[in-house]
């Protein structure tokens, strides 16, 4: 009986450990470059392991199917490039920013009932827009503003660092708790919106990289893990 109890306790620990691990819902690391030039916003919809064509579809996460990373810009002259990311080979970059232009991710969180966290890396040129906000819409509802922030400059005088494909700099990483507001939803849309009151210069660019939505383990699962471990310990005495 002692051996059977130990086996059951070990099984509970293993199961809870797996569920308590943070799971990636969707993630964009921009593993491949996309054509440069005006109008070449990544819009790929076919997933080809180990990643999609272009930067449109998420290349990480269990809910990559149907996901999308795009940019909405007012000026037709806006161009898109794939410069070095923050410790990764590529990022998603564009210039000619106008007020209320934005990067957007859309995805499903179906199957993820616990709280969610959003993280991303973002940088700008010396003339690129700095003030941004994060807005979210769930299941077709109106957009709600969640967070305002200032994008740090990469490279040049006064910049805290320079984005490199080989070296990650945590100063450029933002993390935001979404709680359960977007959990288990068929459709979630998140926008990174430029709130600058005036347009940037034509050469002013802003780039984004390493966008992740992850599920945070529920406190109850972690508590259960501790109880299961205690049961196993007691049975061994």
| Domain made up of 22-216: CATH architecture | Sandwich (2.60)
pLDDT at position 237 over 50? no
Name the residue among 95, 54, 46, 119 with its Cα closest to residue 199.
95
Q: What is the pLDDT of residues 32-73, one digit of tens each?
A: 877 666 555 554 433 333 333 335 889 899 999 889 888 888
Q: Of the ranges 82-91, 126-135, 209-218, 222-231, which one carries the lowest mean pLDDT score?
A: 222-231
| Length of the chain counted residue by residue | 237
Q: What is residue 160's predicted lDDT score, i.e. its pLDDT?
A: 94
Distance CA 236, CA 234 (A): 5
Cβ proximity of 216 and 153 under 8 Å = no
Containing 18, the helix (H) or strand (E) segment is helix 2-20
Question: Higher model confidence: residue 43 or residue 108?
Answer: 108
pLDDT at position 13 over 50? no
Distance CA 205, CA 102 (A): 12
Phi-psi region of 78 (alpha: psi -120 to 50; beta: other; left: phi over 0): beta
Question: Higher model confidence: residue 211 or residue 229?
Answer: 211
Laid out side by side, the sheet with 188-194 consists of 68-72, 102-107, 188-194, 131-138, 144-150
Cβ proximity of 134 and 150 under 8 Å = no
Domain ranges in the chain are: 1-21+218-237, 22-216
């Amino acid at each position: 009986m002692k051996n059977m109890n130990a086996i059951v306790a070990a099984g509970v620990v293993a199961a809870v450990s797996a569920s308590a691990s943070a799971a990636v819902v969707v993630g964009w690391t921009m593993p491949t470059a996309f054509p440069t030039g005006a109008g070449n916003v990544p819009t790929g919809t076919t997933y080809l392991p180990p990643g999609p064509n272009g930067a449109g579809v998420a290349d990480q996460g269990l809910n990559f199917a149907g996901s999308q990373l795009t940019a909405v810009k007012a000026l037709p002259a806006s161009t898109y490039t794939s410069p070095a990311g923050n410790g990764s080979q590529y990022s998603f970059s564009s210039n000619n920013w106008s007020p209320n232009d934005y990067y957007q991710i859309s995805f499903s969180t179906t199957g993820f009932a616990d709280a969610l966290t959003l993280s991303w890396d973002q940088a700008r040129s010396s003339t690129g827009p700095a003030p941004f906000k994060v807005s979210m819409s769930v299941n077709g509802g109106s957009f709600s503003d969640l967070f305002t922030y200032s994008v740090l400059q990469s490279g040049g005088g006064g910049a805290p660092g320079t984005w490199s494909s080989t070296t990650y700099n945590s100063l450029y990483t933002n993390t935001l708790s979404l709680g359960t507001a977007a959990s288990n939803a068929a459709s979630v849309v998140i926008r990174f919106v430029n709130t600058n009151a005036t347009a940037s210069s034509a050469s002013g660019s802003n780039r984004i990289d390493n966008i992740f939505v992850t599920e945070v383990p529920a406190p109850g699962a972690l508590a259960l893990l501790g109880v299961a471990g205690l049961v196993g310990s007691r049975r061994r005495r």
